[in-house]
Amino acid sequence: MYNLEQLRMFVETAQSGSFSACARQLGKVQSAVSQGIANLEVELNTTLFDRTSRKPSLTPQGERLLPFAIAILQQTYELDSVNNALNLSHETNIKMAVDDSLLPMTASLLSEFSTNFPGTALELYGVSTSDVLDLVQTGRADLGLMFSSSNFPQQVDLCYIGSLPFNGVVSPTHSLASLDVVTVSDLIPHRQLLNRGLEGQAAAQCPIISSHIWRGNTFNAVNTMVMEGLGWSYIPAYMAKQYESQGKMVRMKLSFDHKPWPVQIERVMTKQKERGPALQWLAEAVTQLLDN
């Protein structure tokens, strides 16, 4: 029966282009690689490489079998990673809830996490801030990243990590977009678009100004309504800038905002949750997201 070492020789030779290059990569003599691949061909009852030229090339059968060999080696790596995580007492699963507007900030952090803890599966929930707090408070998420809330349950630990500026925005087709300066009295007659969680909790970071309110459960839902000209809203400045550059939104010059106003961002965790190495690393890493 063929073994994993023979499959590694097969894959490495195919990718490097020669038996000698494979031998150098695997730290073996060339004859061992040649013999290992020959034994694999006997076990599979097929010829994997055409050896008539100076450098071996894959036969049609070899090209067909190569993806399967790569897949077996990848699954073996993942099995070893999970087993190592178990032996090192790394968590096998972590659930992270993030306000959907903050998700882009976590991309590089999650990539680094996957490298450091390959055996730990991650479930990522992009929800509203109020739902972040609810998921963590009820134990359905291990860690949350959210905008500051007026609700401070005793069951959770809050850690301030920085702030994100917000802008008032409308669609370019909205009547407010034509005003050089927008006052509170200008805003009141027009529909305001606000966040509210799935359980009905309103986001605390945006004050109610207008007399007519529509709500979405995430910033992406609110942004969709803004771009359709259905009302005005406050959204994170990086989103406002991005949509404005695409011609989909206009940032209003508000008479009562001399500068974009900052909204605090907090990391939230349950006090009862035991923090293993992976969760502890993630908890510390998110506190540095806004350091630069």
Residue 10 above 80 pLDDT?
yes
- Mean of the pLDDT values across residues 248-266? 88
pLDDT for 93: 87
Among 17-21, 167-171, 225-229, the least confident range: 17-21
pLDDT number for residue 258 = 75
What integer pLDDT is reported at residue 35 of this predicted model? Answer: 92
pLDDT higher than 90, residue 260: no
- Give the residue-averaged pLDDT of 263-283: 85
Query: What span, in angstroms and rounded, lies between the C-alpha atoms of 108 and 106?
Result: 6
Is residue 66 very low, low, confident or very high in pLDDT (cuts 50, 70, 90)?
Answer: very high
List the domains of the chain with CATH numbers. Answer: 4-87 (1.10.10.10), 93-160+265-286 (3.40.190.10), 162-263 (3.40.190.290)
Q: How confident is the model at residue 84 (pLDDT cuts 50, 70, 90)?
A: low
At 68, the pLDDT band (50, 70, 90 cuts) reads very high
Q: Residue 149 pLDDT > 80, yes or no? A: no
* pLDDT band at residue 186 using 50, 70 and 90 as cut-offs: very high
Digit-coded pLDDT (tens) for 109-136: 999 998 888 878 899 999 988 888 889 9
Q: What is the DSSP pairing of strand 93-99 with strand 121-127?
A: parallel
Residue 87 pLDDT: 59
| pLDDT exceeds 60 at position 203 | no
Confidence of residue 148 (pLDDT cuts 50, 70, 90): confident
Does the pLDDT value for residue 268 go beyond 60?
yes
Res 21 pLDDT > 60 = yes
pLDDT at 193: 94
Residue 121 is predicted with a pLDDT of: 87
Greater model confidence, 72 or 76: 72
pTM over cut 0.85: no
Residue 120's pLDDT is 86
Share the mean pLDDT of the chain: 87
The pLDDT of residue 115 is 87
Does residue 71 or residue 91 have the better pLDDT? Answer: 71
